[in-house]
Amino acid sequence: MVTSTRKCVCPSKLRAKLVLGGEGWMVNLICGTHNHALAKSLIGHPYAGRLTNDEKIIIGNMTKSKVKPKNILFTFKEYNANNCTIMKQVYNARYAYRYSIRGSNSEIQQLMKLLECN
């Protein structure tokens, strides 16, 4: 498995500042040269692969139904071939869903609470 960071020490720089009166932004290009080629695919890019609110709800419902993460991702890819979501984003959304259910309880406290109910 190959892993790397997104940082590539690219010298390209932009400077942006708010225009007086709040009517927008002024963007100045300081250095427009790049030391890398454009990405061939947006898979793994955090902005392109972000989950919509509807997708988060679907992940919550599928998690409640005990659907495996790989099947959740497969479902997204099946209905939208251009979906750039990766498995890590599915895992993170499942964790956030479970965290929202248990509230301020730790994982052990939540387990004890569920065992007491049965």
Contact 60, 97 (CB under 8 A): yes
Contact 97, 56 (CB under 8 A): yes
- List 90's β-bridge partners, or say none: none
Q: Is residue 4's pLDDT more than 70?
A: no
Provide mean pLDDT across the span 49-77. Answer: 93
Contact 39, 70 (CB under 8 A): no
Output the pLDDT for position 84.
86
Single-letter amino acid code for the residue at 93: A
Cα-Cα end-to-end distance for the chain = 43
Q: Is residue 1's pLDDT more than 70?
A: no
Provide mean pLDDT across the span 99-112. Answer: 84
- Coil, strand or helix at 39: coil
Q: Is residue 74's pLDDT more than 80?
A: yes
